[in-house]
Structures are given as C-alpha cells and as structure tokens.
Amino acid sequence: MPALRNMDALAAYEKLAALSRHPYDLSRSAPPPDRFASYLCRGAGFDLLYATQRVDGPVLAALQELADESGAVDQFLAMKKGAVLNRIEGYASEERQVLHTAMRDLFAGHPHAPEATSLAREELAKLEDFLAGLETGRVANERGEAFTDLVHIGIGGSDLGPRAVYLGLAAFRRPGRNVHFISNVDPDDAAAVIRGLDLSRTLVNVVSKSGTTLETLTNEELARAAFARAGLDPRRHFLAVTGQSSPMDNPERYLRSFYMFGFIGGRYSATSMVGAVMLGFALGYENFIEILRGASEMDTAAEERDIRQNPALLLALLGIWNRNFLGCPTVAILPYSQALIRFTAHLQQLDMESNGKSVNRQGQKIPYPTGPIVWGEPGTNGQHAFYQLIHQGTEIIPTELIGFRYNQYQEDTLIEGTTSQEKLMANLLAQSLALATGQESDNPNRRFAGNRPSAVLMADRLTPRTMGALLALYEAKVVFQGFVWNINSFDQEGVQLGKKLATRLLDHFGRCRQDAAYNGGMMDPAGWSLLQAAGVPARE
C-alpha cells in the first residue's frame, strides 16, 4: 500500500488546480452527441453518464493521475484483504479492519479475507435455517401460527441502510410479511408502531453491535412491556443482532441471536446481519442473496484501475473535482424512483459520518475541504420543491440523478402518448440537460446561467441485484474519496461527544428523581432549572 499523503502533496493536485481556473463550459451549447457516447462508464448493471460534468480530456487524465498517486485502488484492495485502516497513526483510535465487503465476497469466487468471509458464511447458514423454520412452521408462535410481522429496532446504521433497502424493494416483498421500524428514542415512535400490531404474530428484531445502545435498548424495553401486557413471553418473539458475547447475546432473552462483527461499521452494514435478518424475513432468503450478488459485482468493478471503467471511483473523483477544485460545498442525490424515498437519508449518514473529518490519518489538520453536505429527495416531487434553488440559486449544487428504464411493478399506462415511466425518465434527463445548458433570455428572471454539473446513474430496473450494486457503489465512492483526502472514513468520533453529554444529563435527571427533595421538598436551583429546561415534571 502506498505511503499515506495529503491530496495537496500529490503532483496531480497542482495540475487540477490549474485546470480548474478554466473548466469545461457546459453552457456554450448542448453537449455534442459524441460527448454522450464517450463520457459513459459501465459496471455491475449501471451506466454512469457524466457528459454533463465540467470535465474534459485533460481533467480526466489528471483525475486518473490523482487516483494513481493516492493509491486509491490499492487501498481499496488492502481494505478488502483486511488491512487495519480504521486508525489514526500515533493516536488512540479504533484500530480495526474494514470488511463490510466480506459477506459479499462469498459470491466473488476469490474471497479476499477468508476468515471474515467464513464468519459471514456461518451467519448466513444460521439465517437460512431460521427462515426455513418460518416457512415450515418449525418456528411459530405459541399457538403454532406463522409470524406475519417483524418490528426492526435500531438506530443510525442499524436503521437507515436496512430501511432504505426494504422500502426500495417493497415490490419484491413476500405475501403476508410486513416490516415496521422503530428508531427514534421518542416514545411516540414506538407507541405508534406497536399499538397497531397483532403482537402474538409479531417478531421483534433488536439490532445493536455493543448491546448497550441507549436508544435501542430503551425502545426494546418499551416493546417488551407491550408483549408482557399482552400476556406473551418476549423470549418467544425477540431476535438479537449483536456482537458475539455482548449483553444481548443471551438465549434466556432471545429466540435467536445473529452476529455482527467489529470490522463492519454501522453505516456500511446493510448487507451484513444488520440488514439480512429483516430483509430475509421480508423478501425471502434468495432475494437477499441477490442483494449480495449485486453488491459483489460492484465491489469487483471497484477494483478496476482505469477510472473510465470504474463507476464508483469515477463518481468519487468527479465529486472531488466539484468539491475541491470548483468549490461546491454540497451535493444533491436525486433518485427518480419513489421506492428510493429513504436512500438519500442513508447516503447522508454513509457520506457525512464517514468523511465529515477535519484531520488526516496522521492526526494533522487537513488544509482543504473534505466531505460535502449530502441531501436530496426523489424526483419528480423535488422538482416542485427545491429545484428552483438548484437552477437559479447563488450556490452551484452538483447533482447525482438515479434512474431506471423500467418500473418495478411493470404496471403503467399511456397518457397523452407516453407512459408514466417515460415521463419520469424524460424529467430526469431534462433536468440534467437544463442544469448544464441553461437558458438565455432578455428577462433576467427567466435567465438560467447553466454550467451546473450533474451525473446520471441509470440501470434497467430496481431489483434486489441492482439495489445491492447501488449500495456498494456509494460505499466504494465514499471510501475512495476518503483515501484520496487521506482521512479515516471508518470512525465517527463526532457522534460520541453528544452521547457523553446526554449520559451526564440523564445521570443528573436520575439523581434528582431519587432525591427525596424531588418529590416535595427543595431542589438545588441549578438542577431545577435544568429539569425545567428539559421539560421534566417536578413531581411524579
């Protein structure tokens, strides 16, 4: 693996800085047809169309040099083989391998990290046996009835990715299987889900690597109390996805336990047991395997060194060009698929928790911008909400538009000569072209400057296989950017400070509640004002 250096220490950095002074002008005219043909990158079922990015031959050549000099692909391969990349040199850090690809390597034919892949195989076998038990009735409720519902309790990476995939693949859900999600510690979140269920035919899947995640354990206890009130034994209904030997790895409390491992970060965990148990229940084992196959295909495509043949690497480098050289602080990810309604929310965590860093892997201050602000909603709804700012606002916002040539349910109709899916795709492509070329007008209010970069990711249809590939593409994009920026994309220290302060406040609340003065006597002024500010009642 190459020596770890800041991006601005690489020769390609100065070339790109010089090129960025006069970048390709998209607004001169409609991009020529040969540009669309040549600015196309394919991999794992996806086409990345980037003719509407502000790049040309010299810029792409310099981006290739940047990838080569930084050793982006070498680092990716080292990651897949189990190198300890979750670390900061010379400082206390997590010191972990990064092996979210290990589960998918089962389908690559040549596992890069055999030990981790073997652990993944064991968990998949446990899951296959459990799901078969649900099918045959070997796993059933107290009355021998099949389970129809599953409540997935988790937060952060234990919720966002799995939920995005479930919603994305709802069209492939098994009949009679419904999944519900509880993540927020707000008790109304749990109450709203639980009160509408037949608990006797419901499983609860609790996901926490440490077995100590406060929000998740709180929601679990709320759910357990509801089962107890219904006269049901929670042990017959509750599943655990947790670290081996964690407090939740307890057969006295859970019907089954599935393991997640320390070398898989939460936001990279949707294809591990974190997502597998819920997705296997909802979609069936074979459809979950298809997700893994698609992810494996994209993982393999990400090993390609030629950026024009590696969609994830190319998308990462285009993002670096826009962020570091064209000065764009944000990126909008806009799926033209209603099924991907929560996919951008997953990518917010994946990207912003990974690359929201201001020190490098040697613990030194980074002298250039790193992770962008990621946001977005599905089109065409977004066109009637925030696209005005994207087209005519004072900030240039690069966009990544995701589309599919065919719809999932294969139900559509002709209206005014075209189908709904054709209308959806026409809108996607029109937005990309409009952002690029703009519009001249004597009326300044109707003038569009154009020259606003976009890229289009297109596949035939959103299926389990393409969903897996899409997940893996963005995972690889994020880690490639981290490698080039020389930051650690695999820890999240910024999340911890708020947790520590919240724990201190909760300890304070608990002490006040136990204090005899709390129930009728005097309370210390500081404690009382703190409780008032937090809205905690003075008396029970």
Tens of pLDDT, residue by residue, the chain (540 residues): 778 999 999 999 999 999 999 999 998 777 788 999 999 999 999 999 999 999 999 999 999 999 999 999 999 999 999 999 999 999 999 999 999 999 999 998 789 999 999 999 999 999 999 999 999 999 999 999 999 999 999 999 999 999 999 999 999 999 999 999 999 999 999 999 999 899 999 999 999 999 989 999 999 999 999 999 999 999 999 999 999 999 999 999 999 999 999 999 999 999 999 999 999 999 999 999 999 999 999 999 999 999 999 999 999 999 999 999 999 999 999 999 999 999 999 999 999 999 999 999 999 999 999 999 999 999 999 999 999 999 999 999 999 999 999 999 999 999 999 999 999 999 999 999 999 999 999 999 999 999 999 999 999 999 999 999 999 999 999 999 999 999 999 999 988 777 777 777 778 777 776 765 555 544 444 454 555 555 555 444
Q: Classify the phi-psi angles of 15: left when phi > 0, otherwise alpha if psi is within -120 to 50, otherwise beta.
A: alpha
pTM: 0.94
Q: What's the confidence (pLDDT) of residue 537?
A: 52
- The dihedrals phi and psi of 211, each to the nearest 5 degrees, come to 75, 10
Q: What's the confidence (pLDDT) of residue 539?
A: 43
- 3-state DSSP assignment of residue 478: helix
- 3-state DSSP assignment of residue 285: helix
CA dist 339 and 237 (Å) reads 29
Radius of gyration of the chain (CA): 25
Choose among 526, 527, 503, 505: nearest CA to 515.
527
Choose among 16, 8, 46: nearest CA to 298.
46
Q: What's the confidence (pLDDT) of residue 156?
A: 96
DSSP string of 428-471, one letter each residue: HHHHHHHHHH-B--SSGGG-B-----EEEEEES---HHHHHHHH
CA dist 335 and 331 (Å) reads 13
* CATH architecture group of domain 104-292: 3-Layer(aba) Sandwich (3.40)
CA dist 309 and 42 (Å) reads 6
CB 181 within 8 A of CB 342: no
Which strands sit side by side in the sheet containing 454-459, from one edge to the other? 40-43, 46-49, 454-459, 399-404, 330-335, 373-375
Residue 81: half-sphere exposure toward Cβ, Cα within 13 Å: 9
Indicate which residues carry an active-site annotation: 353, 384, 499
| Environment class of 271 (CB within 10 Å of its CB; exposed 0-12, middle 13-18, buried 19+) | buried
Q: What's the confidence (pLDDT) of residue 507?
A: 80
DSSP string of 105-130, one letter each residue: GGGTSS-SSHHHHHHHHHHHHHHHHH
β-bridge partners, 179: 150
Q: What's the confidence (pLDDT) of residue 540?
A: 41
CB 240 within 8 A of CB 257: yes
Q: What's the confidence (pLDDT) of residue 498?
A: 76
Amino acid making up residue 419:
T
- 3-state DSSP assignment of residue 41: strand
Q: What's the confidence (pLDDT) of residue 432?
A: 97
CB-based burial, 172-207: b 16+ in 10 Å, e otherwise = bbeeebebbbbbebeeebbeebbeebebbbbbbbbb
Residue 296: half-sphere exposure toward Cβ, Cα within 13 Å: 19
Q: Is the peptide bond before 271 cis (omega within 30 degrees of 0)?
A: no
Alpha helices in 284-327 (DSSP H): 285-301, 311-320
Q: What's the confidence (pLDDT) of residue 495?
A: 81
Q: What's the confidence (pLDDT) of residue 90?
A: 95
CA dist 460 and 420 (Å) reads 16
Q: What's the confidence (pLDDT) of residue 231?
A: 97
CB 113 within 8 A of CB 95: no
Domain 7-98+302-491, CATH class in plain words:
alpha beta
Q: What's the confidence (pLDDT) of residue 255?
A: 98
Kindly report the CA angle at 312 between 304 and 388, in degrees rounded to 5? 155
